Amino acid sequence: MNILGLARHGLTGFEQIAVVSVVIVAIISLLYAWFLRSIVMKKPKGTEEMQRVWEAIRVGADSYLNRQLRSILPSIGILTVALFFSVYIVPPTPEALEEFPNNTQLIIAIGRTVAFIAGASFSLLVGQLGMRMAIQGNVRVAAASRKGFNDALEIAYYSGTVTGMLTDGLGLLGGTIIFIIFGRAAPDALLGFGFGGTLLALFMRVGGGIYTKAADVGADLVGKVEEDIPEDDPRNAAVIADLVGDNVGDCAGMAADIFESYEVTIVSALILGIALVEVDPTHSLKWIVFPLIIRGVGVISSIIGTFTVPVWERLPIPILRAHNAEEAMFRSYEVSSVITVAVSFIFATVYANDWRLGALTAIGVGLAVAFNPLTSYFTATRKKPVQEVIDSMETGTATTILSGLSLGMESTVWALVVIAISFVLAILLYSGSGALYVLYAVAMIGIGMLSHTGNNVAMDSYGPISDNANGIGELAWQGMEDEETLNARQIMADLDAVGNTTKAITKGIAIASAVIAAVSLFASYITDVGRAQAAIGLPRLDAIRISDTGVFIGLLLGGALPWLFSSLAIRAVSRAAGEIVQEVRNQFKIPGIMEGTVTPDYARVIGISTASSQKELIPLAVISITLPLMVGLMLGVEALGGFLGGVILSGQLLAVFMSNSGGAWDNAKKGVEDEESDIEANTGKGSERHKSGVVGDTIGDPLKDTAGPALNPMIKVVNLVSLIAAPILVRYSDLGWGGWLVVLLLGAGFVWGVTQSKKPSEPFVDIPAESGD
């Protein structure tokens, strides 16, 4: 049997069928996304007023994404060329020579370059299409909320699922096709694919994150804190920018980010799998095919799980019936998990003849599930930690902030302990077989953890969709007080509240999976460096020794990078929010605005948000790319390994800290808002305690939605850059004057990145929002 020439790579008949089936599953998931889209698109878009508000959001979001694309295209171009020629600097790997005896370098160069472009395009597509779908969904959710809860939930969740299945489908398709074409020479192309996706995700996260929080913080600071007007009030000039921000940040940024984690775990599992094929006495290709199968299984489980979400509330069996949207989503997540774990144990024992592979999938799935209660414990309003933050409001803003900081610092420790436990399990399962098996086991945990990406992205996108729906309702139904409207408002408020929880939970999973993915990449790094060294006859690097002072320096510098990155991201938001505050304050002074008779100039605020987020894209990417290269060139590949360890450690700790502190402040504020408003008793909206809560929420915003999430792709960009550069660093370990020149150039780039990012953005001269192009 030789389907699609797969026998050439040494696959058995069953394995050929399995790989082809995975491709078919990937296509099915894309078709499923298309099917859900058509369900949503058939729903009505509501009144003319609603569509007017919606149009403003749509145009703002589209024009932002288009603008962002133009900003980053040149750098993508430069990197494409660099990647192409990077293949020529080093000799091809033995695997490449085996798979492609003729024109090896050209084939690999083209493969890597095309894969890079594909990875970047897929990431972009997931972000762009996902966001556009969310925008199509939000106005329809608002319209459906007038009909009933289940109708609204269905649209919101299915719209989110479209993005989820796109993520699954494109991620699986890309990785599998690369393997079909390149076989055991796949790592070269896979690295390009992973790097493209991750880089785009970094851009989307940084840009979207700064945009959304600059607008949000700016809107809140003047609206809620100074003028005491409610959220989503049409008199606030920043209100449309805020709604646009939810889409470009929480939808587009998040989708691209999770897509990239999904991709990268496949990349590292395949790289480590290929290394195992060499080492394993049977030379079985199961180490490569098994992860692909699990991903295929996960997609099928996701389809079944996500499709059942609207069913749970109508279920005739009372014990299984869900009582609200949150329960329905969790129930369907559980369905997906059970299917995946059961099926993966079957494949593990019957096909791979190693039950432990099934256990690894189960650990991965379990890890994703474990992060739900963990994140929820530290960020849910009714739980003790957030209650303590609420208590601390009694003594003012300072204690509110301190208790949130303390909470975040503690939560990041436990998140890390959970991850460490999963690694311990990997060791227990595979330490008898050898170190490389343990590293592969860690990568397989990543495969398992992200197998329900469809569900996760669906739950996450659901958040901004219902948030926006709520906003559209607020803006379009001004002054309507009939029962249907009140009812619809309540439904949307409920959906929105659930969205905050699901968003927080998926954020926790996204960070954890980023760390697992990064650790797998780190493991691949060692393998890859060793291979590159063996290829040119050098002794193989067999370990990253932090007891070596040079490597320890690498560890220190790596640990510092996430702090620098976060510092710059927070500063960017803080500065942009300041500009927006000034702008909104100025507009409030225009006669008629506060009375609601004159519409504010929404476009000016959109312009500020756009300009300040654009400005950071290239500098932050340059910092993340140049520093590891400098460390690698100056201190060597082993020190770069230490650097990667430091980046992962600091990145994980900082990301969860920022995410959970922010989430806790947000929900603590909501907790106070749910109290009865009584200024005298210092409770509810408008009280001093509420003001402290709003300040906390505002501080948390850029932490939890800009800096924290942007660390996910940053960690992986650093790892992938190092992986791609490894063979070059190995070959040119003795820097000549040319090498030092490169170091100097990289250093200049790094310094430029830092200073450029710290510069205030150009004085605001009326940047109009472009009409959707």
Residue ranges in 198-227 that form contacts with a copy of itself under rule CB under 8 A: 217, 221, 225-226
Shortest approach of a copy of itself to residue 446 CB, angstroms?
A: 13
Given 426, 637, 668, 718, the residue binding a copy of itself (CB under 8 A) = 426
Given 133, 251, 519, 717, the residue binding a copy of itself (CB under 8 A) = 519
Given 650, 687, 719, 722, the residue binding a copy of itself (CB under 8 A) = 650
Are 324 and 274 in contact, with CB atoms under 8 Å apart? no
The total number of residues written for the chain in this structure: 773
Q: Which is nearer to a copy of itself, 105 or 682 (CB)?
A: 682
Distance CA 697, CA 390 (A): 12
| Residue among 203, 211, 65 nearest 131 (CA) | 65
Distance CA 34, CA 31 (A): 5
Burial class (CB in 10 A: 0-12, 13-18, 19+), 487: middle
Distance CA 323, CA 327 (A): 6
Q: Which is nearer to a copy of itself, 289 or 564 (CB)?
A: 564
Instruction: Tell me the two tokens of residue 617.
Output: 């894209």
Shortest approach of a copy of itself to residue 138 CB, angstroms?
A: 27
Q: Which is nearer to a copy of itself, 8 or 759 (CB)?
A: 759
Q: Is 360 in the site for a copy of itself (CB under 8 A)?
A: no
Shortest approach of a copy of itself to residue 189 CB, angstroms?
A: 25
Amino acid at 717: V
Given 152, 191, 505, 577, the residue binding a copy of itself (CB under 8 A) = 577
Shortest approach of a copy of itself to residue 316 CB, angstroms?
A: 45
Shortest approach of a copy of itself to residue 422 CB, angstroms?
A: 10
Shortest approach of a copy of itself to residue 579 CB, angstroms?
A: 9
Q: Return the HEC string of 658-706.
A: HHHHHHHHHHHHHHHHCCCCECCCCECCCCHHHHHHHHHHHHHHHHHHH
Chain positions 695 to 714 lying near a copy of itself, rule: CB under 8 A, are 695, 698-699, 702-703
Q: Which is nearer to a copy of itself, 302 or 652 (CB)?
A: 652
Shortest approach of a copy of itself to residue 563 CB, angstroms?
A: 5
Compute the Cα dihedral for 45, 47, 48, 52 and give only its sign: negative
Distance CA 4, CA 15 (A): 12
Instruction: Tell me the two tokens of residue 205.
Output: 């996260």
Q: Which is nearer to a copy of itself, 474 or 583 (CB)?
A: 583
Given 7, 20, 435, 538, the residue binding a copy of itself (CB under 8 A) = 435
Shortest approach of a copy of itself to residue 641 CB, angstroms?
A: 7
Shortest approach of a copy of itself to residue 224 CB, angstroms?
A: 11
Dihedral of CA atoms 632, 633, 638, 640 in degrees, nearest 10, equals -10
Q: Is 423 in the site for a copy of itself (CB under 8 A)?
A: yes
Q: Which is nearer to a copy of itself, 493 or 754 (CB)?
A: 754
Chain positions 671 to 700 lying near a copy of itself, rule: CB under 8 A, are 695, 698-699
Are 139 and 469 in contact, with CB atoms under 8 Å apart? yes
Q: Which is nearer to a copy of itself, 325 or 658 (CB)?
A: 658
Given 547, 737, 738, 763, the residue binding a copy of itself (CB under 8 A) = 547
DSSP, res 487:
H
Given 485, 582, 682, 756, the residue binding a copy of itself (CB under 8 A) = 582
Ramachandran class of 317: left when φ > 0, alpha when ψ lies in -120 to 50, beta otherwise? beta
Are 550 and 635 in contact, with CB atoms under 8 Å apart? yes
Q: Is 581 in the site for a copy of itself (CB under 8 A)?
A: yes
Are 500 and 328 in contact, with CB atoms under 8 Å apart? no
Residues 6+ apart with CB under 8 A from 278: none
Chain positions 150 to 189 lying near a copy of itself, rule: CB under 8 A, are none
Q: Which is nearer to a copy of itself, 271 or 561 (CB)?
A: 561
Residue 616 CA, chain-centre distance (Å), reads 18
Contact region with a copy of itself (CB under 8 A), list: 58-66, 202-210, 360-368, 572-580: 572-580
Q: Return the HEC string of 130-158.
A: HHHHHHHHHHHHHHHCCCCHHHHHHHHHH
Q: Is 424 in the site for a copy of itself (CB under 8 A)?
A: yes
Hunting for tokens 């460390």 — which residue is that? 631
Are 457 and 254 in contact, with CB atoms under 8 Å apart? yes
Chain positions 12 to 41 lying near a copy of itself, rule: CB under 8 A, are none
Instruction: Tell me the two tokens of residue 770.
Output: 């472009």
| Residue among 696, 649, 209 nearest 407 (CA) | 696
| Residue among 518, 450, 577 nearest 167 (CA) | 450
Contact region with a copy of itself (CB under 8 A), list: 350-358, 363-371, 411-419, 498-506: 411-419
Contact region with a copy of itself (CB under 8 A), list: 156-164, 199-207, 315-323, 576-584: 576-584
Given 303, 439, 491, 720, the residue binding a copy of itself (CB under 8 A) = 439
Given 628, 646, 663, 753, the residue binding a copy of itself (CB under 8 A) = 646
Q: Which is nearer to a copy of itself, 132 or 615 (CB)?
A: 615
Compute the Cα dihedral for 173, 177, 183, 188 and give only its sign: negative
Distance CA 40, CA 465 (A): 13
Given 265, 337, 392, 501, the residue binding a copy of itself (CB under 8 A) = 392
Shortest approach of a copy of itself to residue 27 CB, angstroms?
A: 36
Chain positions 441 to 460 lying near a copy of itself, rule: CB under 8 A, are 442
Q: Is 397 in the site for a copy of itself (CB under 8 A)?
A: yes
Given 7, 97, 416, 534, the residue binding a copy of itself (CB under 8 A) = 416
Q: Return the HEC string of 514-531.
A: HHHHHHHHHHHHHHHHHH
Q: Is 574 in the site for a copy of itself (CB under 8 A)?
A: yes
| Residue among 580, 563, 572, 590 nearest 650 (CA) | 563
| Residue among 340, 245, 285, 367 nearest 9 (CA) | 285
Q: Which is nearer to a copy of itself, 202 or 419 (CB)?
A: 419
Neighbouring C-beta atoms of residue 768, cutoff 10 Å: 11
Given 458, 546, 620, 723, the residue binding a copy of itself (CB under 8 A) = 546
Q: Which is nearer to a copy of itself, 262 or 657 (CB)?
A: 657
Chain positions 525 to 544 lying near a copy of itself, rule: CB under 8 A, are 526, 542-544
Q: Is 229 in the site for a copy of itself (CB under 8 A)?
A: no
Chain positions 552 to 571 lying near a copy of itself, rule: CB under 8 A, are 552-553, 555-557, 559-561, 563-564, 566-568, 570-571
Chain positions 585 to 644 lying near a copy of itself, rule: CB under 8 A, are 641-642
Instruction: Report the Cα–Cα distance between both ends of the chain, in Å, rounded.
Output: 50
Distance CA 750, CA 745 (A): 9
Q: Which is nearer to a copy of itself, 399 or 683 (CB)?
A: 399
Compute the Cα dihedral for 104, 109, 112, 113 and give only its sign: negative
Number of residues this chain uses to bind a copy of itself (CB under 8 A): 82
Distance CA 81, CA 74 (A): 11
- In DSSP terms, 683 is beta-bridged to 678
Shortest approach of a copy of itself to residue 368 CB, angstroms?
A: 19
Phi, psi of 678 (to 5 degrees): -150, 100
Given 402, 681, 735, 745, the residue binding a copy of itself (CB under 8 A) = 402
Contact region with a copy of itself (CB under 8 A), list: 38-46, 102-110, 229-237, 548-556: 548-556
Q: Is 420 in the site for a copy of itself (CB under 8 A)?
A: yes
